Amino acid sequence: MADSFELVSSSLLDKIDRLFACNVGDAVALPQIVVVGDQSSGKSSVLEGLTGLPFPRDSGLCTRFATQITFRRSLEPNITVSIIPAKNSSPGDKERLQGWRKSGLKSLDPQTFADIMTEVLKVMGVESAEGEPRKTFSNDVLRLEIAGPDQEHFSVIDVPGIFKRTTHGLTTKEDMAMVNEMVHDYMSNPRSVILAVIPSNVDIATQEILERAEDIDPDGIRTFGILTKPDLVDKGSESAVMNLVEGKTHQLRLGWHLLRNPGQAELKSTLRGRNESEMEFFDKVHPWSTLDKSKVGIVSLRARLQEILEVHIRREFPKVKVDITQKLKKAESTLQSLGPKRQNQIEYSQYLMEFALEFQRTVSLSVNSDYSRSEILSANTKYRVATEAVNRGQAFANAMACYGHTHSFLYADDKKDDCEGENPEKDTVNTRTMEDHPDIMDLLHENKSVHIKRDQDTLEWLKTEYRSSRGFELGTFDASLLAITMRQQATNWRALALGYISDIISLVHSFIIGVWQQIAPTTRVFDGVKSRIMDDISRMYEVAISQTEFLLSVELEGTPATYNHYFNETLEKCRQDRLRKQLKKHCMWDDEYGEFVKLEDLNQTQLLSNEDHTVVQIHDILRSYYKVARKRFVDCVRMQVADTLLVTGQDTPLTLFSAQFVTGMSLDTLEDIAGEDLMVKRRRDGLEKLIGQLREGKAIIG
């Protein structure tokens, strides 16, 4: 590159210089120069004179894409060429374009620059590998970063020239619309200084680019008119151009500037040679030699741009500060929404550990009925495990009392005793009250209806059983008869108990899945944890059902036995109740002694056959033992199964997903569950990079 130059020098502009250096310009619009114009308006010559880069020229379209040229200061000279993918690029194209890069260049001679531009056309897909055209324009941006000890940080954007007519086989109406939108977007950036390049040898009134600049920048505070090709103006038409430069017609607040493009013979000259040739033209060729020297030539253009940029940057600087602050807050918020960083084993474990600890906290609050300290438990009563479990346990106890027995025991007063204070009108009850969770439907017992036989003569049933099993006993009965009748009398226990435990399992599982769904950080984590823990949870449910079956076998298949004194007390009460009921028929009243029974009537009440007497004894013993066994069974099922194995025990499905469970996972499992998707990783890396740049920019601004 030839002659370096200094565009800005104030301390304020030095801050912009440093903002560009830390790449804040990638996130926040910073003051820059945008060169726009019609095709063949001389934009390439203006850029070449302004930047010192040897922009290639050919007979076709010169600019097929936007080119961002960024200068920054560094200790060593270095030129980096890269591509910024268009916003609507596919992930594959974005990765491919971002992967293309050239760095370490010390200078750009015309041939090297031309070769790079040719390669860029192929990478962007404008041309195929064989050089055949695929599309005319690209929304991708070529980025040239030129660093060196003599450079000043500023940015220049070159965009394709607009055109009004399509060229057969080369451009289409879609191309025209694409270029129009691209140019409009760059010009609309309120921080850009618009360099509207217009040939001097055309009618200014017909230049669409000037009309667009007036629409976008109605106050004209950032539009600078650049006139080119004065050497091609027809004789006698120079006054129109002179009037523009002198501000007599079509006035712009920033004014007009006149440049002479190098001729074909001058294209290979150095920047210094170009400048000298241009200065000679404006010094000697009439009438251009009469113009104010500050308004002609590339050297004075740089000086004017320095002044314009300084005023523009001073005006826009407070807005830049606001933008950086807002962008930083938004980036930090977006990064926070991605959750904790998970890219190694420690981060995986911490991420899942927080999930597990929050779940166990909710479990503890639910089991201890401390619902007010959890939004989940406060909002949804079905997750209140303690209350739901206790209520279902009470319902099980009541159902066992009311519907556990197949045959009704004798005496009207027994209804109240057997049904725990209730007097149900229905003879049937459903064994299930909760809906099955889809995950475990195959494990649970289906809903059934159990019923009791109220109208059957219970003594006749017992007499039949006695006759079918009696031996040579006299006044007694075979000990196995109690087990046989107990098994028949407790036929409903299995359905009621398994229905109860199935409901508790459904309650526990619905809580686990429901709470997980609400507190799991991502669907991936929820699905991953669930898939790896479901087998263990299911085995715990199977153990609970198996334990219930075991308790049923103890009560119904084993030998009846009890040390509970309540059995003898109940048996004696049964006998007394039966005797009282029989004597009631013979009761008489005496004003002095109250109710009394004659001795002869008392003797008559005991007249039963040996068989009937034995059957009555069987009834009273069965009734007494059944009541003791039922209460014992209800307590065992609740305490040993529902509470210990499913709800309140130390090793239940509710306690399985814990910090200990997480620490036992392998690295592969942790990564599979808690690792970040590639898209999230890239987004996080991009946000962290952006936040670092914005924080540095914020520190620069102060």
Is the confidence at residue 413, as pLDDT, over 70?
A: no
Per-residue confidence (pLDDT) for residue 572, from 0 to 100: 77
Per-residue confidence (pLDDT) for residue 599, from 0 to 100: 62
Indicate whether 699 belongs to any domain: no
Type and span of the H or E element at 224: strand 223-228
Mean of pLDDT values over 507-511: 96
Per-residue confidence (pLDDT) for residue 455, from 0 to 100: 58
C-alpha closest to that of 32 among 230, 191, 233: 191
Mean of pLDDT values over 114-121: 87
Report pLDDT digits (tens) over 645-656: 999 999 999 999
**What is the CATH classification number for the domain harbouring 203?**
3.40.50.300
Is the confidence at residue 57, as pLDDT, over 70?
A: no
672 token code pair: 């599979």
Is the confidence at residue 9, as pLDDT, over 50?
A: no
Indicate whether 526 belongs to any domain: yes
Together in a domain, 248 and 391: no
Domain-ending residue, one of 333, 366, 395: 333
Per-residue confidence (pLDDT) for residue 332, from 0 to 100: 92
Band of residue 428 on the pLDDT scale cut at 50, 70, 90: confident
The tally of CA atoms less than 13 A away on the side-chain side of residue 36 is 31
Q: Find which of 270-274, 643-647, 675-679 is predicted with most confidence, using mean pLDDT.
A: 643-647
Report pLDDT digits (tens) over 593-646: 767 766 666 555 555 667 777 888 888 888 889 999 999 999 999 999 999 999
Together in a domain, 308 and 402: no
Beta bridge partners of 78: 147
Per-residue confidence (pLDDT) for residue 60, from 0 to 100: 44
Mean of pLDDT values over 88-116: 85
Other CB atoms within 10 Å distance of the CB of residue 268: 10
Together in a domain, 406 and 552: yes
301 token code pair: 């253009």
Together in a domain, 401 and 303: no
Indicate whether 596 belongs to any domain: no
Per-residue confidence (pLDDT) for residue 59, from 0 to 100: 41
Is the confidence at residue 284, as pLDDT, over 70?
A: yes
Is the confidence at residue 329, as pLDDT, over 90?
A: yes
Per-residue confidence (pLDDT) for residue 590, from 0 to 100: 67
Mean of pLDDT values over 664-677: 86
Per-residue confidence (pLDDT) for residue 2, from 0 to 100: 42
Cis before residue 287, ω within 30 degrees of 0?
yes
Other CB atoms within 10 Å distance of the CB of residue 498: 21
Band of residue 164 on the pLDDT scale cut at 50, 70, 90: confident
Per-residue confidence (pLDDT) for residue 471, from 0 to 100: 65
Together in a domain, 175 and 287: yes
Together in a domain, 395 and 327: no
Q: Mean pLDDT for the chain?
A: 84
Mean of pLDDT values over 465-474: 74
Together in a domain, 297 and 374: no
Per-residue confidence (pLDDT) for residue 462, from 0 to 100: 82
C-alpha closest to that of 84 among 160, 32, 27, 131: 27
Instruction: Of 168-182, 190-204, 589-603, give the lowest mean pLDDT range.
Output: 589-603
Report pLDDT digits (tens) over 376-386: 999 999 999 99
Together in a domain, 134 and 167: yes
Band of residue 578 on the pLDDT scale cut at 50, 70, 90: confident
Residue pair 11/173 in contact by the 8 Å Cβ criterion: no
Per-residue confidence (pLDDT) for residue 266, from 0 to 100: 59
Indicate whether 586 belongs to any domain: no
Is the confidence at residue 422, as pLDDT, over 50?
A: no
Is the confidence at residue 389, as pLDDT, over 90?
A: yes
Instruction: Of 126-130, 648-652, 688-692, give the lowest mean pLDDT range.
Output: 126-130
Together in a domain, 52 and 101: yes
Together in a domain, 537 and 397: yes
Together in a domain, 307 and 364: no
101 or 31: which leads in pLDDT: 101
User: Within its chain, how far is the Cα of 519 from the centroid?
Assistant: 12
272 or 631: which leads in pLDDT: 631
Is the confidence at residue 363, as pLDDT, over 80?
A: yes
Indicate whether 445 belongs to any domain: yes
Q: What burial class does residue 503 get, using C-beta atoms within 10 Å of its C-beta: 0-12 exposed, 13-18 middle, 19+ buried?
A: buried
Band of residue 359 on the pLDDT scale cut at 50, 70, 90: very high
Residue pair 378/371 in contact by the 8 Å Cβ criterion: yes
Mean of pLDDT values over 12-24: 73
What pairing do the DSSP bridges indicate for beta strands 101-105 and 428-430? unpaired
Q: Annotate 318-376 with DSSP letters as a single string.
A: HHHHHHHHHHHHHHHHHHHHT-S--SSHHHHHHHHHHHHHHHHHHHHHHHTT-GGG-HH
Mean of pLDDT values over 518-529: 92
Number of domains in the chain: 2
Q: Find which of 29-33, 378-382, 407-411 is predicted with most confidence, using mean pLDDT.
A: 378-382
Instruction: Of 85-89, 271-275, 403-407, give the lowest mean pLDDT range.
Output: 271-275
C-alpha closest to that of 382 among 480, 507, 474, 501: 507
Mean of pLDDT values over 423-439: 81
Per-residue confidence (pLDDT) for residue 474, from 0 to 100: 59
Report pLDDT digits (tens) over 292-311: 999 999 989 988 887 888 78
Per-residue confidence (pLDDT) for residue 302, from 0 to 100: 83
Band of residue 452 on the pLDDT scale cut at 50, 70, 90: confident
Together in a domain, 462 and 365: yes
Is the confidence at residue 217, as pLDDT, over 80?
A: yes
Domain, as residue range, for 655: 353-563+611-664
Per-residue confidence (pLDDT) for residue 38, from 0 to 100: 85
Per-residue confidence (pLDDT) for residue 602, from 0 to 100: 58
Per-residue confidence (pLDDT) for residue 379, from 0 to 100: 92
Angstrom distance (rounded) from CA 302 to CA 257? 11
* Model pTM score: 0.62
Mean of pLDDT values over 44-62: 71
663 or 573: which leads in pLDDT: 663
Mean of pLDDT values over 241-254: 90
Indicate whether 494 belongs to any domain: yes
Is the confidence at residue 171, as pLDDT, over 90?
A: no
Is the confidence at residue 72, as pLDDT, over 80?
A: no
SS3 617: helix
**What Cα–Cα distance (Å) separates residue 594 from each residue in 587, 589, 590, 591, 599?**
10, 5, 5, 6, 16
Indicate whether 595 belongs to any domain: no
Give residue for tokens 């029974």: 597
**What percent of the chain is modeled with pLDDT above 70?**
86
Domain-ending residue, one of 305, 333, 361: 333
Indicate whether 149 belongs to any domain: yes
